[in-house]
Amino acid sequence: MMWRSNNAPKGAAMNRLIELENQYCARNYDPLPVVLKEGKGVWLWDVDGKRYLDMMSAYSAVSFGHGHPTLVTALTAQARQLAVTSRAYHTDQLGPFLQLLCEMTGQPRALPMNTGAEAVETALKAARKWGHKVKGIPENRAEIIVCNGNFAGRTTTIIGFSSEAQYRDGFGPFAPGFVSVPFGDAAALEAAISPHTAAFLVEPIQGEAGIIVPPAGYLARCRDICTRHNVLLICDEVQTGLGRTGRLLACEHEGIRPDGLILGKALGGGLLPVSAFLAREDVMSVFHPGDHGSTFGGNPLAAAVGRAALRLLRDERLADRAQTMGKRLIDGLHAIGHPAIRDVRGKGLLIGMELDPAVISARAFCEHLMRHGILSKDTHATVVRFAPPLIITESEIDMTLKTINAIFDLLPAPRGGGRKYTVGASQRIAA
């Protein structure tokens, strides 16, 4: 029988605010029962004054920590001067921001947007038009290959190529032109390519699917396949990019450069939505004035914060820090060795701990973490994510591991006697 926990006790103010949200907000989320009021660095405080270590960082959007003074200074200074003009005019902030972004990522051009989903939609439009106008695919026949388990956002086009039934249920009809293949299977990618294939869209590590790391060499093989077949390789690094996995970009772990790159989340410094699609010249040249746009995309406020975030990432070597702190956390999770742990996987500070649902659900485990002053979130009912701000310290990692250990000590042994899991980097071994 699954072991469950009760919700943490809540004060009157917290209850009232949760009820207010439930009354007026659409029920498209199922948040943990905590009401947050303040954040600083890796810490958050609720309305009752209780402190929590943030091990989620808003799905990697708060990579620099809450309220980083450098980023807040950039935000407030620019807000006082000029915030939004639309792209109807040039501004003194957009050019320098995109120059730094392109130089750091090795991509020649960028198209600024706001949310990650918007940047993905931009990439899809670019890939299709490139396929029709440059590669010579007949009009309205361009196909884009995607992976099972993908998560790229919530727009109707994007959910149309999702393999998750709930994301699609009731929202059709969906746009055609997408072909799905298993994630991590380069041979399946090559087999799916046809004369109408324009692009392959892939996350270097699948986040929402449960922090799924593909086999070593997968992206390099995909790069070779796409090059040989004149297919664009587009890496969705909205969650994995900008230092999260221990490199500036997750695709750098295999030394490849994609033809198109999608960034978001951390690009806004945890203060506002900033995203971008970056690509090689012939891909970006398909856009002409009037083809695509965004009222807020590339606004001076976003550009100033994005530029400050990139400088911070570079100057404080936060990707290196993610590599070091991530190894400490992964090694510590491996060392726990509790039989309820089926797997620990990830890179840098993007880590998933898969649990045996017969013992405890990931949601219940996250509720216990919350009660012990740590905030995380489950995915797919069995995986607890750990993706703290990249500024997290060794002592905070160790505190997290100590707390996780203490929670496991509360759990009963799995039924079946003698069943034991050996935790590996990417596989489960039953003994």
Residue 155 has pLDDT above 50, yes or no: yes
d(CA 373, CA 42): 12
Q: Are 385 and 349 in contact (CB under 8 A)?
A: no
Smallest Cα–Cα separation from 175: which of 142, 209, 138, 130?
Answer: 142
| Helices 300-315 & 318-336 angle (0-180, nearest 10) | 70
The pLDDT tens digits of the residues spanning 274-316 come to 999 999 999 999 999 999 999 999 999 999 999 999 999 999 9
Instruction: Name the band, by pLDDT with cuts 50, 70 and 90, for residue 429.
Output: very low
User: Which residues are tagged catalytic?
Assistant: 151, 236, 265
Share the mean pLDDT of the chain: 93
Taking the C-alpha atoms of residue 66 and residue 41, their distance in angstroms, rounded to an integer, is: 5
Spans of all domains in the chain: 69-315, 318-430
Calpha distance 214→52 (Å, rounded): 32
- Take residue 63 and report the two structure tokens written for it: 């990579």
3-state secondary structure at position 134: helix
Diameter over CA atoms, the chain = 70
Spatial separation of the C-alpha atoms in residues 417 and 76, rounded to whole Å:
59
The DSSP symbol for 414 reads P
Average pLDDT for residues 32-38, to the nearest whole number?
A: 97
CA distances from 203 to 52, 108, 250, 400 (A): 30, 21, 9, 28
d(CA 214, CA 205): 7
Rounded to 5, what percent of the chain is helix, strand, coil?
Answer: 40, 20, 45
Q: Is the pLDDT of residue 367 over 50?
A: yes
Could you please state the CATH topology (level 3) that the domain comprising 69-315 is classified under: Aspartate Aminotransferase; domain 2 (3.40.640)
216-273 residue pLDDT tens: 999 999 999 999 999 999 999 999 999 999 999 999 999 999 999 999 999 999 999 9
Residue pair 294/113 in contact (Cβ under 8 Å)? The answer is yes
Task: Please determine, for residue 202, whether its predicted confidence score (pLDDT) is greater than 60.
Answer: yes
Residue whose C-alpha is closest to residue 268's, from 63, 122, 83, 81: 63
Tens digit of each residue's pLDDT (9 = 90 or more) over 157-196: 999 999 999 999 999 999 999 999 999 999 999 999 999 9
State the fold for domain 318-430: Aspartate Aminotransferase, domain 1 (3.90.1150)
* Token reading at 170: 């009731």
Supply the pLDDT for residue 423. Answer: 33
Q: Which pLDDT tens digit goes with each residue over 382-404?
A: 999 999 999 999 999 999 999 99
Percent of the chain at pLDDT > 90 equals: 91
Q: Give the model's pLDDT for residue 411.
A: 85
Residues 301 and 83: their CA atoms lie apart, in Å, by: 5
Would you say residue 425 has pLDDT above 70? no
Nearest to 359 by CA among 409, 414, 431: 414
Average pLDDT over residues 82-90: 97
Q: What value, to the nearest 5°, has the Cα angle with vertex 230 and ends 224 and 236?
A: 70
pLDDT value for 380 = 87
Q: What backbone phi and psi angles, to 5 degrees, belong to 422?
A: -100, 120
List the structure tokens of 392.
């997290």
